[in-house]
């Protein structure tokens, strides 16, 4: 089916969109009930009306580079049900609409794994909703979902659009787009809002507002940066101002680069007990996530500082992991989290994650809380104890991929000199 048949043409109006949405939501909800009700005798798949992408294109985020325009949008739950005739959110599947306009002279391939290492194939998605469908119904469902799927290649002077089926995020989605052609590649990131997000307070939007309203302290030399980083608070605190876990990481880079790198290593937004720096709770908390295998229970809290290093954002952070790691089980939300005493192990694991994201160009270490020995550990308000070499890892994130051989190490503090 050609683009013109799928997407339609002309200017979309509010009445057009409303009419299309109401009609297709009804179709989607009916199909969803048919598919998901185990005792239902009806076996047909109710295919929605023909999909018109004009309203997604209108609100999509876009970026242009090397004569290639990439646009991305995430449909809300009702929109998704109207498009696919099934409620993908029931399986924690989140469709991302992409449109790639290739005005270059090369054929380009989009690497879906860069967007989500565990993305779902169209048939995999369809299989999850087979339910009591007849063989004919299953066939129609597969054909419908495959017809909306994004397909490579993007030939010269053509436009390709469609959906990639990803694991669900809760709010703004970091849409990471890797494009590849013989002898050429590029990496683009789009911050794409999620309609009907599960958060009442969109953290990324709050951060973007903070960035826009800030009057930052600009730093351009490494020695000046080192000095300022070592003067930052040593530790976070609890709500009563009592000193808590050490601030052991610094992330430097634009939001798109840092966010995409952490997303690649499966860090996602997740609520965490509040810790305080600069008189406020963490701006963002992230945890490793994996739907299919238990993930390391690392908790990363970050705060935006008032510094900018060569125009890039500077974040101070704290990372720790639950005592017992993946064998600890799940604690209740009310229970205080007891962390692993060796906080350096978790810090160093984050450094390795950052390296393997291939978006870190430089790494260094600066003084932080100071040495805390195993024989004389410190205690946090939650009852945890910790020991540390006292250093904080500083990671510089770039948008463009960085190979392991290109990684540079800044000669500030050496880990070997701070063994404890």
Tens of pLDDT, residues 199-209 = 445 788 888 88
392 φ/ψ angles, rounded to the nearest 5 degrees: -115, 135
As a whole number of angstroms, the distance between CA 206 and CA 212 comes to 10
213 CB-contact burial (10 Å; exposed 0-12 / middle 13-18 / buried 19+) = exposed
Q: Are residues 110 and 209 in the same domain?
A: no
Q: Are residues 144 and 256 in the same domain?
A: no
Task: Give the domain-ending residue among 144, 166, 192.
Answer: 192
Structural domain contains residue 407? yes
Task: Give the domain-ending residue among 192, 225, 244.
Answer: 192
Structural domain contains residue 42? yes
Q: Are residues 147 and 53 in the same domain?
A: yes
Is the bond preceding residue 153 a cis peptide, omega within 30 degrees? yes
Q: Are residues 186 and 208 in the same domain?
A: no
Structural domain contains residue 141? yes
As a whole number of angstroms, the distance between CA 6 and CA 17 comes to 15
Q: Are residues 342 and 240 in the same domain?
A: yes
pLDDT for res 201: 57
- Cβ–Cβ < 8 Å for 341, 386: yes
Structural domain contains residue 108? yes
Task: Please tell me whether residue 14 adopts helix, strand or coil conformation.
Answer: helix
Provide the domain count of the chain: 2
Structural domain contains residue 218? yes
The domain in which residue 152 lies consists of: 3-192
Beta 391-397 vs 385-386: how paired, if at all?
A: unpaired
pLDDT for res 313: 96
Q: Are residues 183 and 207 in the same domain?
A: no
As a whole number of angstroms, the distance between CA 123 and CA 149 comes to 10
pLDDT for res 3: 40
* Spans of the chain below 70 pLDDT: 1-42, 196-201, 329-335, 420
Q: Are residues 187 and 213 in the same domain?
A: no
Task: Give the domain-ending residue among 145, 160, 192.
Answer: 192
Residues 383, 384, 388, 393, Cα dihedral to 10°: -110
Q: Are residues 339 and 229 in the same domain?
A: yes
Q: Are residues 120 and 256 in the same domain?
A: no
Q: What residues contact residue 248 under an 8 Å CB cut-off, 6+ apart?
A: 317, 318, 319, 343, 344, 347, 368, 369, 388, 391, 392, 393
As a whole number of angstroms, the distance between CA 234 and CA 245 comes to 9
Sign of the alpha-carbon dihedral angle for 308, 310, 313, 318: negative
105 vs 99, 150, 183, 416, CA distance in Å? 18, 21, 13, 51
Which residue in 191, 207, 254, 194 sits closest to 61, CA to CA?
191
Give start and end residues of each alpha helix (H) in 9-156. 14-36, 54-59, 77-84, 112-115, 122-128, 135-147
pLDDT for res 266: 87
pLDDT for res 325: 87
pLDDT for res 81: 93
Structural domain contains residue 336? yes
Plot region of 311 (φ>0 → left; ψ -120 to 50 → alpha; else → beta): left
Look up residue 162 and give its DSSP letter: E
pLDDT for res 36: 45
Q: Are residues 185 and 302 in the same domain?
A: no
> Which secondary-structure segment (H or E) carries 252?
strand 249-252
Structural domain contains residue 197? no
pLDDT for res 10: 43
- Cβ–Cβ < 8 Å for 249, 284: no
Structural domain contains residue 198? no
pLDDT for res 420: 61
Pairs from 374-379 (Cβ < 8 Å, separation ≥ 24): 374/341, 374/420, 377/341
Q: Are residues 21 and 138 in the same domain?
A: yes
Structure tokens belonging to residue 416 = 């070997």
- Cβ–Cβ < 8 Å for 178, 114: yes
Q: Are residues 170 and 239 in the same domain?
A: no
């Amino acid at each position: 089916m050609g683009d013109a048949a799928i997407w339609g043409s002309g200017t979309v109006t509010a009445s057009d969109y409303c009419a299309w949405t109401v009609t297709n939501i009804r179709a989607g909800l009916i199909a969803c009930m048919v598919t998901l009700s185990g005792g239902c005798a009806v076996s047909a798949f109710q295919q929605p009306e023909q999909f018109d992408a004009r309203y997604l294109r209108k609100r999509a985020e876009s970026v242009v580079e090397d004569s290639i325009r990439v646009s991305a949008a995430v449909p809300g739950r009702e929109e998704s049900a109207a498009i696919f005739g099934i409620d993908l959110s029931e399986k924690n599947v989140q469709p991302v609409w992409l449109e790639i306009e290739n005005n270059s002279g090369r054929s380009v391939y989009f690497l879906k794994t860069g967007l989500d290492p565990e993305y779902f194939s169209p048939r995999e998605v369809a299989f999850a909703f087979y339910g009591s469908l007849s063989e004919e119904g299953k066939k129609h469902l597969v054909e419908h979902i495959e017809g909306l799927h994004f397909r490579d290649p993007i030939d010269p002077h053509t436009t390709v659009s469609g959906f990639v089926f990803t694991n669900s995020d809760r709010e703004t989605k970091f849409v990471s787009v890797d494009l590849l052609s013989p002898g050429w590649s590029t990496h683009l990131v789009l911050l794409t809002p999620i309609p009907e997000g599960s958060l009442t307070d969109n953290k990324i939007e709050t951060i973007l507002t903070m960035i826009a309203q800030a009057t930052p302290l600009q730093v351009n030399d490494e020695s000046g940066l080192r000095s300022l980083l070592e003067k930052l608070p040593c530790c976070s605190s609890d709500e009563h101002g009592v000193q808590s876990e050490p601030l052991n990481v610094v992330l430097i880079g634009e939001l798109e680069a840092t966010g995409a790198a952490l997303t690649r290593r499966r860090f996602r937004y997740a609520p965490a007990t509040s810790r305080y720096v600069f008189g406020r709770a963490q701006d963002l908390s992230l945890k490793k996530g994996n739907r299919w295998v238990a993930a390391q229970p690392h908790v990363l809290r970050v705060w935006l500082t008032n510094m900018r290093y060569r125009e890039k954002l500077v974040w101070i952070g704290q990372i720790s992991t639950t005592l017992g790691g993946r064998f600890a089980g799940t604690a209740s939300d009310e229970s205080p989290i007891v962390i692993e005493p060796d906080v350096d192990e978790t810090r160093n694991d984050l450094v390795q994650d950052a390296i393997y994201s291939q978006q870190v160009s430089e790494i260094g270490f600066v003084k932080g809380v100071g040495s805390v020995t195993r024989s004389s550990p410190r205690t946090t308000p939650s009852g945890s104890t910790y020991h540390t070499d006292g250093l904080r890892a500083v990671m510089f994130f770039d948008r463009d991929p960085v190979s392991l051989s290109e990684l540079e190490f800044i000669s500030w503090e050496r880990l070997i000199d701070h063994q404890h």
